[in-house]
Amino acid sequence: MQGFRRSARLQKVERAPCAAFSIDTPMRKFLIVRFTSESRYSGGLQCSDRNQESIETIFGPEHVTTYIIEPYKNRSSLRSILTRAGDILKGYMGGLNSDKEKEILSIIADKQITDVFLDSSLLGRLAKKIRRRFPQVRTYTFFHNLEYKFMKDYVRVKHDFLRIYWPILSFQNEKNSIKYSHKIIALNSRDSQAIEKQYGRKADALIPITFKASPLRASDTPAGPAKEALFIGSYFYPNVEGIRWLVRHVLPHVPAQLTIVGAGMDKLAAEFGHCDNIKIYSNVPDLALYFAQADFVVLPIFSGSGMKVKTAESLMNGKFIIGSTEALQGYEFDDSVARECNTADEFITAISNFDRPTKYNEPSRRLFEKKYSFEASLKSFRSVLTD
């Protein structure tokens, strides 16, 4: 996200007694608690950046403090393994532990924080502590997806039963997020319905994936004789699952070149090295050139929840999308913007019949500006945070 302005990044703070204070403070003071990511280009991190920038825009960066929970370091060391095991037994996830929890509680007291924005439903244990220690502090939890479902699907698809504790801890934390948050925010109605079905409470607000609009590059480039398909996504199991399926069941039957761009996707180079019609680029800081060169974006995503950031990016860059129901979940679209496909035959037909005069699709950009721009979601944030 361009122009992102980060407020105070806190790693260590002086611990102090948690003194009581009144929520009637004239100026509201926000604390944002969020995870970081080992990949600068992950979709979840981009959404977290959007959330933070929205709060800073509404209340002013001088009234916003950010606490970033860093991942564990030296994960293979015995000390790290034992530390993580202890944190897991206490119900922590993502690098949060008792020391960091105490730091966060001290910040709330020392800075007389009036509002806490928890940027993950995996922070339910923290939400419970905040609500009990500071019952007058307003707490908001943002659900990037239904983590319990995501973790359960991951263990099932990857057969990674050593991480069977992931769905268990996710369920516990999300249950606490639901119980102890004043308001919860989801990306779309599907997630809200799933949250209500699982935990008995629907989201108080729906705020979809959005971006600040970036300038377009070569928007009027004519389409070439060979169709250029683009897949955007990091080396993440739903992306890998989808792209492998596409290469095996669709690509051999369509007249198209496929470009894969995403952090860590070079791991697929050996697997797809024999395919002359596939190019792979990993850890690319600027996607604009790849979007400009593509005739359309192809998104065969079949698992997960939430909304796909790559879909909003594609709309922002004026691209027609050929994607699965999961890839288009939460987005409002018609045939001028996207074609929904879920079987090999449907993808083959859509790609084979794709015929547009230029690489730029104006209806996609218009839809982005109306529904999925930063300005559109800022209104929703202002409504839910100032109500």
Where are the chain's structural domains? 8-210+374-386, 227-371
Q: Which CATH number fits domain 8-210+374-386: 3.40.1480.10, 3.90.79.10, 3.40.50.2000, 3.30.1330.10?
A: 3.40.50.2000
CB 56 within 8 A of CB 7: yes
pLDDT tens digits, 303-337 = 877 899 999 999 999 999 999 999 999 999 999 99
Backbone angles phi, psi at 157, to 5 degrees: -70, -40
Architecture of domain 227-371: 3-Layer(aba) Sandwich (3.40)
The string of DSSP codes covering 190-225 is HHHHHHHHHHS---SEE----B-----SSTTPBP-S
Q: For residue 309, give the amino acid letter.
A: V
CA distance 201 to 175: 10
CA distance 87 to 91: 6
pLDDT tens digits, 17-56 = 333 334 444 589 999 999 986 544 456 788 999 999 999 9
User: Which of 271, 306, 301 is closest to 189 using CA atoms?
Assistant: 306
CB < 8 Å & 24+ apart, contacts of 81-86: none
> What would the mean pLDDT of 158-183 be, rounded to a whole number?
90
Q: For residue 242, give the amino acid letter.
A: G
| E strands, the chain, in order | 8-10, 30-35, 64-69, 115-118, 138-143, 183-186, 205-206, 227-232, 256-261, 278-281, 296-299, 321-323, 338-340
